[in-house]
Amino acid sequence: MKRAIYPGSFDPITNGHIDIVNRARHLFEEVCIAVTHNPAKNALFHLEERINLIREVFAHDKGVTVTSFTGLLVDFATTSNIRTIIRGLRAVSDFDYEFQMALTNRHLASEIDTVFFMTDAKYSYLSSSLVRQLTRLKGDISEFVPKTIEKALKEKVNERNIRTY
Ligand code: COA
| 131, pLDDT greater than 70 | yes
- Which of 17, 50, 87, 132 is catalytic? The answer is 17
pLDDT at 165 over 50: no
Paired strand residues for 33: 6, 66
* Alpha-carbon dihedral 22, 31, 10, 41, rounded to 10 degrees: -140
**pLDDT class of 162 with cuts at 50, 70, 90:** low
Mean pLDDT of the chain: 95
Q: Which residues form ligand 1's pocket by a CB distance below 6 Å?
A: 7-9, 11, 14, 16-17, 20, 36, 38, 41, 72-73, 88, 90, 101, 104-105, 119, 123, 126-129
Residue 127 clears pLDDT 70, i.e. is over it: yes
Cα(39)–Cα(159) distance, rounded to whole angstroms?
Answer: 23
CA–CA separation, 145 and 151 (whole Å): 10
Q: What percent of the chain has pLDDT over 90?
A: 92
pTM: 0.96
How long, in residues, is the chain?
165
Q: Is the dihedral of CA 2, 31, 6, 93 positive or negative?
A: positive
| pLDDT of 65 over the 70 cut | yes
- Considering only CA atoms, which residue is closest to atom 2 of ligand 1? 16
Which of 159, 138, 141, 164 has its CA nearest to residue 46?
159
Residue 126 CA, ligand 1 centroid: distance in Å: 12
